Structure 1
Amino acid sequence: MSSTILAAEGLNPLIPHVEEIILGVVVFLILVFMIKKFVVPNFEKAYAERTAAIEGGMKEAAQAQEEAKAALEQYNAQLSEARHEAARIREEAREQGAQITAEMRTQAQEEAQRIVTAAHQQIEAERAQAVQSLRRQVGELSTELASRIVGESLEDEARQRRTVERFIVDLEGSSNGSAN
């Protein structure tokens, strides 16, 4: 049994051989060197790019946020200015409307006064014309009547005019006396 134990000890699959250990360490060191030389720089480069991109994106986002805030403040200022301008324009329009209304009212009153004055003048002219026509008709009738009463012709124009005027004065005097 002792020889089987010795033989079994030399062939123990759980204990590696020294050559395998040395070869494993050399291959491991070569693998670590290759990873360190080729893989790690690429990872670091990708990590640095990603970090730079994230920081740049954050800076851009912060800058965009500042620009948006400035644009919003400018928009609010413009909106406030537009509201003030609109209020000023409304007030001017209201004032102009009141002024136009006052002017139109004044023009309408002036036109109405002009129309009334023209109507009074026309009425006065028509009244004067009617009085003139009535005087002439009354004169003609009175001379005809007087001719019939007196029995002589009152064809003489000067005499006729004096007679008519005297008759009208008498009529006006009697109508004023009866009105009083």
Structure 2
Amino acid sequence: MGPLKPNFIELIVGLVVFFAVFATLAMVLLPRIDKTLAEREEATSGTLERAEAVESEARRVRAEYQAELSAARQEASRIRQAAHEEGVALLAAVRSEGQKAREDMVAAATVQLEADRVIAEAELREHVLGLATALAGRIIGEPLTDIDRARAVADAFFAGAEADTAG
């Protein structure tokens, strides 16, 4: 006997044991292996589908974020432009108000200066009239008491002096 001429009983027993082991493996082990492989395939394909869903959601959220960011930038630009225009308008208003206040102050000061000049001129005329009357009284040697006549002479003198200055 040898490998080329096997013993028939050993060959039959070997084949029966082989098929028994093969049947046991096919009945018990192969369904478990198939089940495990199917679970892995399902998990892999499910994970892949979930990853694709998450990726598409991320793209959608990113697009929304980009749109919101663009809108926010445009809004900020519009707000900056409006603030700039408002600032320019406010500055112009403040300048015109300041210009008007300056003109009012200059006009008030001019009126006040003219009033002060008139008052000072009147006081000075009275003082000059008093000094001229006292000096004329010293020159004559007796006090002059006719104030109305002295005032008329002084007014005529000052009117002539003003006419000479204006001309």
Partner of 2:68: 78
Partner of 2:2: 13
Aligned-partner Cα distance in 2 for 1:41–1:19: 32
Q: Which has the higher contact order (CA 8 A, sep 6+)?
A: 1
Partner of 1:109: 99
Partner of 2:16: 26
* TM-score after normalising by structure 2: 0.90
* TM-score after normalising by structure 1: 0.84
2:118 is the counterpart of 1:131:
no
Residue 46 of structure 1: how far off its partner (Å): 0.9
SS in 2 for 1:16: coil
Partner of 1:8: none
Aligned-partner Cα distance in 2 for 1:85–1:178: 70
Number of matched pairs: 166
Determine which of 135, 139, 147 is the counterpart of 1:160: 147
Question: Considering only CA atoms, is the larger Rg found in Structure 1 or Structure 2?
Answer: 1
Structure 1 unpaired stretches of 5+: 1-11
Structure 2 unpaired stretches of 5+: none
Aligned-partner Cα distance in 2 for 1:152–1:83: 98
Runs of 4+ in structure 1 over 6 Å off: none
Taking only the aligned residue pairs, the percentage that are identical comes to: 34
Determine which of 35, 46, 61 is the counterpart of 2:36: 46
Aligned-partner Cα distance in 2 for 1:148–1:66: 119
Determine which of 61, 86, 91 is the counterpart of 2:51: 61
Q: Deviations over 1:140-172 (max 9, x none)?
A: 0121133234444323xxx31342233222232
Q: Over aligned residue pairs, what C-alpha RMSD do you find? A: 1.8
Contact 1:143–1:164 under 8 Å retained in 2: no
1:127 partner amino acid: R
Aligned-partner Cα distance in 2 for 1:179–1:48: 122
Aligned-partner Cα distance in 2 for 1:136–1:25: 157
Determine which of 86, 90, 94 is the counterpart of 1:96: 86
Aligned-partner Cα distance in 1 for 2:40–2:166: 122
